[in-house]
Structure 1
Amino acid sequence: MGRKIYNPFSYTVCNTTYALIPHIDGSRLVTRVLEDRSEFLIEQTAYKTITGSCSFYRGSLESATLYAQKAVGVKHKPPIIIGEYYGNPLIFFPTHSPKNKESVWFNYDAIDLIESDDRGGSVVYLGNGQSVCLDVSAIALRNQHSFAGSLRRYFKKAQNQHRQQLTYVTKRPMPIRPRHPSD
């Protein structure tokens, strides 16, 4: 394959991370990272990369999963918000169960199109012009992508409500207390 191993033991996803793809390198399972303008291998599983990234952004995979389950009502393979990146949620979703070593993780914002292929699998077209072929049905992937969109809307709505509450609190006049003669 000829790809260089980059940061062999750690990698943190960000908004330019498009996909984390399990890859067999000899006898080792590594992760192929597709970014906006680069591609490389790292020596940790996609699952470890996701859990480490959640920790980096001051959260956990468990809490992100619970939030997503509450937000969109999906119990199996829910999309997750790994962190907030300049006010926008960094949403990834798995193609299989999160702990499954074959699970590919996609950045919701990186996907342009999901099409069926002629073998019953799918082709995922990314915003950087790359495509990823998978043995997962296009219908299942479109559902995952749709759930991720619902999670984004839920997050943005909650974010706007929070902003409105802050605006109300900061603009509300403070009550004037009458001065007491002993003051």
Structure 2
Amino acid sequence: MGKKNYPLSSYIVCSNTYALIPYVDGHRTVTRVIEDRNEFVIEQSIYKTITSSCSFYRGSLESATLYSQKAVRVKHKPPVIIGEYYGNPLIFFPTHSPKNKDAVWFNFDAIDLIESDASGKGSIVYLSNGETVDLDVSPIALRNQHSFAGSLRRYFKKAQNMHKQQLVYLSKPKLALRRQHPQG
């Protein structure tokens, strides 16, 4: 990847964002963005991209982290719901601490397979678009992160369904009152 021009100074993740990867260009680290059908480099750091994306979807990384910690009880490197995209949670997880400049962030839905590299110490991540990402991260650690992200999705969907049921129940107040006070 020999690109030096950065047409974008910022970026908001969406469902077709597959990975955000640190890219060293000279003396600075920028962000390599892999999308379903596109790949490019932006000036913005990965951490700033994640935090501004959370803000765009009317949240914050801090609140998304707290929600995730409550949902899946993972304190270190929890997956986060960056936003809700047409009723589906947009879940990303980091490979390192979120503020770590070496952290790669993956879209939970974009991962097809995580396997060991030839050394057995690193990982190869296969993305849904056919791209691969090689990392110096244990495949066991990555699989755990991916699994936690799946648990977060299930937690979110369960809460979403409960909310829908409550709305249906509240939209029929006369029926609800009859159930509470049956007539004799």
Instruction: Please state which band the TM-score falls in when normalised by the shorter chain.
Output: over 0.9
Aligned to 1:162: 163
Distance 1:18 1:137 in 2: 20
SS at match of 1:155: helix
Task: Please state how far the C-alpha of 1:94 moved relative to its aligned partner.
Answer: 0.1
Aligned to 2:64: 64
Distance 2:18 2:84 in 1: 16
Aligned to 2:174: 173
Q: Would you identify which runs of 4 or more consecutive aligned residues in structure 1 move more than 6 Å? A: none
1:150 counterpart = 2:157: no
Distance 2:57 2:140 in 1: 31
Deviation readout 1:7-57 (Å, 9 max, x if unpaired): 12x100000000000000111110000000000000011111000000000
Aligned to 2:24: 24
Q: Which residues in structure 2 correspond to 1:63-142 (within 5 Å)? A: 63-119=63-119, 120-142=121-143
Deviation readout 1:71-115 (Å, 9 max, x if unpaired): 000000000000000000000000000000000000000000000
SS at match of 1:113: strand
SS at match of 2:91: strand
Task: Please state how far the C-alpha of 1:171 moved relative to its aligned partner.
Answer: 2.2
Distance 1:166 1:97 in 2: 38
Aligned to 1:180: none
Counterpart of 1:11 in structure 2: which amino acid? Answer: Y
Distance 1:102 1:118 in 2: 21
SS at match of 2:102: coil
Counterpart of 2:48 in structure 1: which amino acid? Answer: K
Percent same amino acid among aligned pairs? 75
Distance 2:22 2:172 in 1: 51
Length-normalised TM-score, structure 1: 0.93
Preserved CA contact (<8 Å) 1:6 1:40: no
Structure 2 unaligned residues grouped into runs of 5+? 178-184
Distance 2:154 2:172 in 1: 27
SS at match of 2:171: helix
From the CA coordinates, give the structure whose radius of gyration is larger: 1
Deviation readout 1:119-147 (Å, 9 max, x if unpaired): 21000000000000000010000000000
Task: Count residues with an aligned counterpart.
Answer: 175
Aligned to 2:2: 2
* RMSD after superposition: 1.3
SS at match of 1:173: helix
